[in-house]
Amino acid sequence: MIETTRTGVPLELGAYRQAFREWLAGHAAEYGTALDASEDEVFSRGLTLSNSMWRAGWKQMGWARAVGGLGGGPRHRATYYDELCRAGIEVPDTDLSIEVIGPALLHYSPALAEQYLPALLAGEESWAQAFSEPDAGSDLAGLRTRGIVATGGDLVVSGQKVWTSHGHLAQRLLVLIRTGTAESRHRGLSAVLVDAEDPRIVRRPLTFANGKKELSEIFFDDVHVSQGRLVGPVDGGWKVAMHMLQYERGMYAAQRQAWLTLRLRQLIEHFNVVGAQPGAGAAIARAWLRLQVVRARAIQTVRRLDAGDEVGPDSSADKLLLSSAERAVFDAARFAEDSAFTFDASDAPWRDGWWYSRASSIFGGSAEIQRTLIADRVLGLPRSDR
């Protein structure tokens, strides 16, 4: 007999996958999003999808009971994303931040997680990760946003963040601040959960080359935050950030490869409508092969996360493989017949994807940084004096 949760969702991973797949077969049409939908519509529908899947019990698998989940772990969550995309449903953008912030909050501040995380998981709120700064993108240890202890014990946060994904739409921000001296580098950082709608916070969306407003810059002007909102201890933010990065690179690869596989299927359907230039088949085959490499690697990484391993710098390989696969998928889209890719309105979503894919080797840590991490900390290669 298959063991199930109180909502009737199977606990065993294989049974969960099969039951979810069968359920989606009868419900997928309710949650589809058109390729040419506006970014506001995509974001809103993502929250609606999350809320529906949470209430149905499917999304509760993989999360601790303390935050409203049904048990299980990262393998259940990766299966959830996989089956959504297999059914033609896009992974909501809000789920990308959930996978980065949620595990860290549970690990370092379980009381905060119990209080605030359920609303995020259920699609009732959206959160964002505010780490990068104008002068400290890949160099997190060099960030300058300050958190000074004021009279009464609150932290007073001042500074600027940039490249914050959906930061202008978020209700809460997980912010990395400097509580130590400038010279303390990574030893003087702290992580804190901030209410994004504080009047002393200014958020401005940034426009991509494709016209999308996914990122934002955020200004903090003496924002008072209780020390009870610290994630981990004072000056312990570096460990929190490193814990988050293994999910940002590892679990994100699992999510993104599922989404890219959906996009590749949609691209083949698109070619059947608009036609394709010679070489399109070979380009699609190259993209598919690269996605299979990412998938194999992501399965390995998710299993390690599920087992409680510290993946650490090994996740840099996931990031590199993923950025290569993403570019390959949208490079294949350029084989649309004649000038359709450049000028035809029906190709606008594919042009947007192509523009976005150009940045895939930069965000989340550039490809050069990832290769350096692999060389230094995974392979142990000797440093060059030149």
pLDDT 10s digit of each residue in the chain, 386 long? 456 666 689 999 999 999 999 999 999 888 877 777 778 888 899 999 999 999 999 999 999 999 999 999 999 999 999 999 999 999 998 899 999 999 999 999 999 999 999 999 999 999 999 999 998 766 788 899 999 998 888 999 999 999 999 999 999 999 999 999 988 999 999 999 999 999 999 999 998 776 778 899 999 999 999 999 999 999 999 999 999 988 888 899 999 999 999 999 999 999 998 889 999 999 999 999 999 999 999 999 999 999 999 898 899 899 999 999 999 999 999 998 877 788 877 778 888 889 889 888 877 778 888 888 888 888 889 876 55
How would you write the chain as a 3-class SS string? Answer: CCCECCCCCECCHHHHHHHHHHHHHHHHHHCCCCCCCCHHHHHHHHHHHHHHHHHHCCCCCCECHHHCCCECCHHHHHHHHHHHHHCCCCCCHHHHHHHHHHHHHHHHCHHHHHHHHHHHHCCCCCEEEECCECCECCCHHHCCCEEEECCCCCEEEEEEEEEEECHHHCCEEEEEEECCCHHHHHHHEEEEEEECCCCCEEEEEECCCCCCCCEEEEEEEEEEECHHHEECCCCCHHHHHHHHHHHHHHHHHHHHHHHHHHHHHHHHHHHHHHCECCCHHHHHHHHHHHHHHHHHHHHHHHHHHHCCCCCHHHHHHHHHHHHHHHHHHHHHHHHECCCHHHHCHHHHHHHHHHHHHCCCCCCCCCHHHHHHHHHHHHCCCCCCCC
Q: Encoding tokens for residue 89?
A: 């449903």
Q: Is the pTM of this model over 0.85?
A: yes
The CATH classification number of 127-235 equals: 2.40.110.10
Contact at 8 Å (CB) between 121 and 95? no
The CATH classification number of 239-378 equals: 1.20.140.10
Q: Smallest Cα–Cα separation from 369: which of 188, 137, 118?
A: 137
Q: What pLDDT is recorded for position 37?
A: 78
Architecture in CATH for domain 13-121: Orthogonal Bundle (1.10)
Q: What pLDDT is recorded for position 17?
A: 97
Q: What pLDDT is recorded for position 1?
A: 46
Percentage of the chain lying above the pLDDT 90 cut: 68
Rama region for 173: left / alpha / beta (φ>0; ψ in -120 to 50; rest)? beta
Q: What pLDDT is recorded for position 41?
A: 86
Q: Encoding tokens for residue 31?
A: 């949650």
Q: What pLDDT is recorded for position 177?
A: 97
d(CA 290, CA 214): 26
Q: What pLDDT is recorded for position 33?
A: 74
Q: What pLDDT is recorded for position 199?
A: 97
Distance of CA 195 to the CA centre of its chain: 20
**Every domain of the chain and the residues it spans:** 13-121, 127-235, 239-378
